[in-house]
Amino acid sequence: MNITVYLGATPGNDPALEKAVRALGTWIGENGHDLVYGGSCCGLMGMLAESVLNAGGRVYGVEPQFFVDAGYVYDDITTLYVTQDMSERKAKMIELGDAFIAFPGGTGTLEEIAEIMSKVALHHLSAPCILYDLNGYYTGLKLLLDQMLSSELSTPEKLKGITFARSLDDIAAALS
């Protein structure tokens, strides 16, 4: 299974992030899955890719040309896809993915997983959409989705394929 993971290109300030991202990468590689991600060598992205590779998995990076030009590419990944821009990057990552995980990240991560959530809600994508709620990172988003339901601006059917996972075990269960 190709697992697309959205996450930050910075390390963040919580030591739990590095431990969790490395555990996720090791799990992906050791369980015969492959990683699709943004292609960066920096921050959490680089840690994830390195962990997958060290565990024997393949890593597919999707990087827009301007990031390639800036020198952010992880050179040791299995395959690098270079796109013209961020929109093309997002489309390619969706095309390559069989399941989608949002690890804690910034606005880019939020934008990318919001597109997956929307595609799942509209039944334009039939794939697991998992938000890794590590240490409550995505609790605010879960509350917002609950508010959408209570306000009758969304339905349980539309949110059916969206999962909040609090641990790697929860992710593994959602993907099985």
**CA atoms 164, 133, 125, 127: torsion sign:** negative
First CA to last CA distance, the chain = 11
Query: What DSSP line would sit under 91-118, residue for residue?
Result: HHHHHH-SEEEE-S--HHHHHHHHHHHH
pLDDT of residue 108: 94
C-alpha separations of 52 from 10, 33, 68, 144, 166 in Å: 18, 9, 21, 32, 20
pLDDT of residue 65: 95
**Residue linked to tokens 């593994």:** 172
Six token digits for residue 100 = 């989608």
Question: Number of structural domains, the chain?
Answer: 1
pLDDT of residue 93: 97
pLDDT of residue 44: 97
Cα-trace Rg, the chain: 15
List the strands of the sheet with 34-37, edge to edge.
79-83, 59-64, 34-37, 2-6, 99-102, 129-132, 162-165
pLDDT of residue 135: 95
Six token digits for residue 96 = 């390559």
Domain residues for the domain of 113 are 2-175
pLDDT per 10-residue tile (average), the chain, 176 residues: 96 95 98 96 96 98 94 92 96 98 96 96 95 97 96 93 96 95
CATH of the domain at 45: 3.40.50.450
